[in-house]
Amino acid sequence: MTRIFERTAEIGIVPVIAIEHVKDALPLADALLEGGLPLAEITFRTPAAAEVIAILTRQRPELLVGAGTLLNAESVKQAKESGAAFGLAPGFDPLVLDAATTYQLDFAPGIMTPSDLSLTVAQGLRVAKFFPAGIAGGPGALAGISAPFSHLGMRFIPTGGITQHSMGEWLRLPQVLAVGGTWIARNEDIREGNFAQITRLARAARQQVQQIREQA
């Protein structure tokens, strides 16, 4: 794994965030940091994504910022130029992977099947996003799909349908690097300026990760 993904593994949870307005970037970052969660995946699902990443990386360097929902080469280029430390995609697209290589962006493609995982391994990657984790079969499905590849040291970031109540099941799998979750910084809380709630959820998630690891 790269240093960036090692740091992601140390934190254990990736808040997945679709932020609509640039003005909310810094209050969001401060809410996460106050909650002890110095990590954010800003998804390219809104026009504000690239500018938000640029603001966060420039003004809150203590926050590890990645780019999510990278669906084409242009979004990879924008992510890198904005300062994103890593990129994630919902699926495996060779063109997106080529762009990540070209722009030297630490990248994890999305996988859901053994075939997806075979393609990922063939490209020399050792981190992948398991998506959509919930409807793809849950922790048992990931354990089964990844079993033939376990000797290669593959690690995963399951995302999609994970909640604060189910995250423990995922984090107890040794192949899970971190979990991705949308519940920590929900769109409605960002829109309504409810950053205190985001801080509370971030702190609770971070504490839960630590408790799970202490019990392991």
- Profile the chain (216 residues) by mean pLDDT over runs of 10 residues: 95 97 98 98 98 98 98 98 98 98 98 97 97 96 97 97 95 97 97 98 96 88
**Which residue is catalytic, options 20, 34, 41, 169?**
41
Q: What is the pLDDT of residue 216?
A: 72
Residues 6+ apart with CB under 8 A from 55: 22, 25, 26
Give burial (CB, 10 Å; 0-12/13-18/19+) of 214.
exposed
Omega before 38 cis (within 30°)?
no
Task: Note if 129 is an active site residue.
Answer: yes
The radius of gyration of the chain's CA atoms, rounded to the nearest angstrom, is 16
Placement of tokens 């990760």 in the chain: 209
Q: What is the pLDDT of residue 101?
A: 97
Q: What is the pLDDT of residue 1?
A: 79
Other Cβ atoms less than 10 A from the Cβ of 165: the count is: 9
**Which residue is catalytic, options 20, 62, 74, 129?**
129
Task: Note if 188 is an active site residue.
Answer: no
Q: Distance between CA 30 and CA 212 in Å, rounded? A: 25
State the amino acid at position 64 in one-letter form.
L
